[in-house]
Amino acid sequence: MRVKGGLRVSSGTGFKVYSKNAKLYFGKKNYIRKNCSIIVGESGMLKIGDRFFMNNCSSINCLSNIEIGEDCLFGEGVKLYDHNYDYRSKELVPLNKRGHVKGNIIIGNNCWLGSNTIILMNVQVGNNVIIGANNIIYKDIPDDTVVLAKQYPVLRSILR
Amino acid sequence: MRVKGGLRVSSGTGFKVYSKNAKLYFGKKNYIRKNCSIIVGESGMLKIGDRFFMNNCSSINCLSNIEIGEDCLFGEGVKLYDHNYDYRSKELVPLNKRGHVKGNIIIGNNCWLGSNTIILMNVQVGNNVIIGANNIIYKDIPDDTVVLAKQYPVLRSILR
Amino acid sequence: MRVKGGLRVSSGTGFKVYSKNAKLYFGKKNYIRKNCSIIVGESGMLKIGDRFFMNNCSSINCLSNIEIGEDCLFGEGVKLYDHNYDYRSKELVPLNKRGHVKGNIIIGNNCWLGSNTIILMNVQVGNNVIIGANNIIYKDIPDDTVVLAKQYPVLRSILR
């Protein structure tokens, strides 16, 4: 784990680096709020740029490779997974015995991931991207993009 | 910070009141569970009525003005934000340098916000409103309303 | 509370068993990560099978009856509720005075509930079910099923 300088972490947040081969780099002036979780597995590599802000209850789960650029902002409950249980395999063994499929996640500069954004493996997010709250992302997002839920919830009157 | 009486708070929950000018009022018999976060910024004002219940991992983020009536119930992971990064401005500076746009959130009496409800700035929620889980709300909701997601997820068979 | 053996629990996680009549059974080799919450009310019964894994910030809220089979995996922020505020009743008393309606939740073997999955009362989930992240489930799911959100968010370009 290498920290350029100015890493600030609030209570309830934990880091887990599983082996000597795992690599975790923090840029300058990073701030991680409460109850977050950062995991870097066996041979994982997680690089985070300068001025990164991660709000409460967010997590980064890196078994392979995750890179986050400069000036990125995570809302509350944001979750990144660069791996998946191998649920597509047709083996008849339980998921927890199948191991993981792994990929990467690359996030550009100046991105804002709204609360409860989930990003799955093999996603590349460009620069200047804003992702609205509660979205799950499994496709690439080009530079200069806003991402929003397609449907707004419906309102029904309560009859009394 | 003024508490009328009977504020009960579980472990992992924190309050942050940023200045002397910030105001935080709690009614009677409020109960806030674990790992919640309540923030009142510089000149923010947050008023919460009697018998408020806030379940685990919820947050109220008040930089301007939030009011919550009597007998309101928050599920787990509910989040209120009365401000936004100024992402619509066309300035070419990073979001974290642009400051916030601020508004208010007003919630009536006897409202139940389901788990993972997110309410954004300039939303007024009437009395007796029920919001189903996982919805993000950015428009007003009239009295006596149930709010539900429009789409139900799809089921696909796993072929073996 | 009865534990077959090998229950591992991380920091910030809490159990609440409301009475002597409430029953909580854990199978072998269960692992519950950080900041989770397990509640078993008055006369509730919660049974969890072997090799259960529950990731950070998840919760099980059992006032009546919840059963989870063998080899089940919960992502982060998964929430189970076997009860509901009685919001359909037309009484003119606040929700918090109406008490709960209760049901059950039955989950089979080898199920994976993605992050932020919410399961409501009276839902039966079969064996070998995979639920994608951010979905709320209030209908039964048959064996060997993948459950996914119907709509993908929309992308809009930011004009500069």
A141 interface with C at CB cutoff 8 Å: yes
> A25 vs chain B: nearest CA distance in angstroms?
21
Report DSSP letters for A3-69, one per residue.
EEE--EE-TT-EEEE-SSS-EEEEEES-EE-TT-EEEE-TT-EEEE-TT-EE-TT-EEEESSEEEE-
What is the ipTM score, two decimals? 0.94
Alpha-carbon distance B82 to B64, whole Å?
Answer: 6
Q: What pLDDT is stored for residue A73 in this prediction?
A: 98
Q: Tell me the chain C residues in contact with residue B151 when contact means C-beta distances shorter than 8 Å.
A: 149-151
C93 interface with A at CB cutoff 8 Å: no
A19 vs A75: which has the higher pLDDT: A75
Average pLDDT on B10-14 reads 93
Asked if pLDDT for residue A11 goes beyond 60, the answer is yes
CB atoms A77 and C73 under 8 Å: no
Q: What pLDDT is stored for residue B160 in this prediction?
A: 57
Average pLDDT on B7-23 reads 92
Query: Which of the four pLDDT bands, split at 50, 70 and 90, describes residue B93?
Result: confident
Residue A103, phi-psi category: left (phi > 0), alpha (psi -120 to 50), beta (remainder): beta
When CB atoms are compared, the residue of B110, B115, B132 closest to C79 is: B115
Tens-place pLDDT, residues C75-123:
999 999 999 998 877 777 899 998 899 999 999 999 999 999 999 999 9
Average pLDDT on B9-33 reads 93
Asked if pLDDT for residue A160 goes beyond 70, the answer is no
CB atoms B148 and A156 under 8 Å: yes
Q: What pLDDT is stored for residue C89 in this prediction?
A: 73
Q: What pLDDT is stored for residue C121 in this prediction?
A: 98
Tens-place pLDDT, residues C6-39:
899 999 999 999 888 999 999 999 999 999 999 9
Please enumerate in sequence order all residues whose Cβ is within 8 A of that of A146, keeping only pairs 6 or more positions apart, or say none. A129, A130, A131, A132, B87, C155, C156, C157, C158
Please enumerate in sequence order all residues whose Cβ is within 8 A of that of B97, keeping only pairs 6 or more positions apart, or say none. none
Q: Tell me the chain B residues in contact with residue A35 when contact means C-beta distances shorter than 8 Å.
A: 12, 35, 57
The model's pTM: 0.95
Average pLDDT on B15-21 reads 90
Mutation for C interface: B28, B32, B34, B98, most C CBs within 10 A: B34
- B85 to each of A51, A127, A136, B106, B121, how far by Cα in Å? 15, 16, 21, 20, 11
Alpha-carbon distance A78 to A131, whole Å?
Answer: 11
List the single range of A5-14, B125-134, C91-100 with lowest mean pLDDT: C91-100
C132 interface with A at CB cutoff 8 Å: yes
| Tokens matching residue C80 | 């189970």
Tens-place pLDDT, residues A94-149:
999 988 999 999 999 999 999 999 999 999 999 999 999 999 999 999 999 999 99
Q: What pLDDT is stored for residue A92 in this prediction?
A: 73
Q: What pLDDT is stored for residue A62 in this prediction?
A: 98
Q: What pLDDT is stored for residue B88 in this prediction?
A: 78
C160 vs B5: which has the higher pLDDT: B5
B74 vs C42: which has the higher pLDDT: B74
Asked if pLDDT for residue C160 goes beyond 60, the answer is no
Tens-place pLDDT, residues A64-102:
999 999 999 999 999 999 999 988 777 678 999 988 999
- A60 to each of A17, A134, C2, how far by Cα in Å? 12, 16, 33
How many residue pairs bridge chain A and chain B with CB atoms within 8 Å of each other? 101
Alpha-carbon distance A77 to A56, whole Å?
Answer: 6
B92 interface with C at CB cutoff 8 Å: yes
Mutation for B interface: C89, C90, C95, C159, most B CBs within 10 A: C95
Alpha-carbon distance B54 to B131, whole Å?
Answer: 14
Asked if pLDDT for residue B74 goes beyond 80, the answer is yes
Query: Which of the four pLDDT bands, split at 50, 70 and 90, describes residue B86?
Result: confident
CB atoms C110 and A87 under 8 Å: no
